[in-house]
Structure 1
Amino acid sequence: MDLILWRNAEAEAATDKIADNRRKLSGRGEKHAERMAEWLKKQPLRKVQVLSSPARRARQTAQALGLPYDVKSQLAVGADAADLLAIAGWPDYHGTVILVSHQPALGRLAALLLSGQEADWTIKRSGVWWFSNRVRRDETQTVLRAVANL
């Protein structure tokens, strides 16, 4: 399985808690989402499933890829690493799952996958961390395949 963690691109500033989920991408954020989507399209991904947070900025980031995507409440602001792992089907899905979500959940999941415990790691806006799961000599391994930032 390949698991790609994609943080939403830069959004306009929030004015209050209610407005947070309605914030749209800034002009710069739109460009960054498009550039990252172009990079992702060039990768050898198979059986791709794209899942997005319901926040407008995350959905706009996912849309840049030009593939169908599903909105999942488990990826919303305030999610935790366990929510993200469960919705992705890690490590059992046979293909690629792209999760478009938020900090700090994405960073905590990256830390968990690489170190075995959650920590407050940062994934930059519109940044991608790409993990693979494989079995070698009857041992399950997690591999960091790429980190891409704009």
Structure 2
Amino acid sequence: MTFNLILWRHAEAEEAKAQGRDLPRKLTRKGHKQAKKAAAYLRAKLPADARVFASQATRSQQTADSLGTAYHIMPALNPDIDARSLARILNNLRGHSHVVLVGHQPWLGQLCAFLLNGNWAQQNIWSVKKGAFWWFQVRPEADGSFRAKLKLVMSPADLAD
């Protein structure tokens, strides 16, 4: 069954502190504006039953908050995950018409490359701008692979105020 997968990178966040605590980083003022612009566009396009998942990082949750809908926190979307683990997650999302994953580079760029290129080569990390989303139509195959079509790429700079 084909489903829509929206990969949304968190908006601009505070710089990491010297102690290296990454998960508590918050959105900046600019980041809040970016998230609101992207969320306004997505709200107009997403059905009411869209499933939204965010990492445990504060900046990811603040980005998801801007949608104004319920979302689920999924540690498997944290900044340090191995993108290859996401294939299993995609298989578990079958049955939902629209899924939004709010997360981080580099795994977002790796997942974009995988969906369009069909392999997990480490050099295939595509740049996903802060606050941007990539909208795919994904069809899981019986052999565990995926066929994907890129429908839309939007960054906050592309969206009207």
Aligned to 1:107: 109
Separation (CA, whole Å) in 2 of partners of 1:126 and 1:110: 15
Amino acid at match of 1:120: I
**Shift of the alpha carbon at 1:94?**
2.8
**What TM-score results when the alignment is normalised by the length of structure 2?**
0.83
The answer to whether residue 8 in structure 2 is matched with residue 6 in structure 1 is yes
Aligned to 1:146: 152
**Shift of the alpha carbon at 1:120?**
1.2
Separation (CA, whole Å) in 1 of partners of 2:48 and 2:88: 20
Unaligned residue ranges in structure 2 (runs of 5+)? 141-145, 157-161
- Identical residues among aligned pairs (%): 38
Separation (CA, whole Å) in 2 of partners of 1:131 and 1:46: 18
The answer to whether residue 49 in structure 2 is matched with residue 47 in structure 1 is yes
Q: How does 1:1-150 map to 2 (within 5 A)?
A: 1-16=3-18, 18-45=20-47, 47-89=49-91, 92-118=94-120, 119-134=124-139, 141-150=147-156
**Shift of the alpha carbon at 1:117?**
1.6
RMSD over equivalenced CA pairs, Å: 1.9
Unaligned residue ranges in structure 1 (runs of 5+)? none
Q: Which runs of 4+ in 1 moved over 3 A?
A: 88-91
Separation (CA, whole Å) in 2 of partners of 1:88 and 1:66: 24
Checking the alignment, whether the CA contact within 8 Å between 1:46 and 1:96 is kept in structure 2 is: no
Aligned residues: 146
Separation (CA, whole Å) in 2 of partners of 1:122 and 1:57: 18
Checking the alignment, whether the CA contact within 8 Å between 2:46 and 2:98 is kept in structure 1 is: no
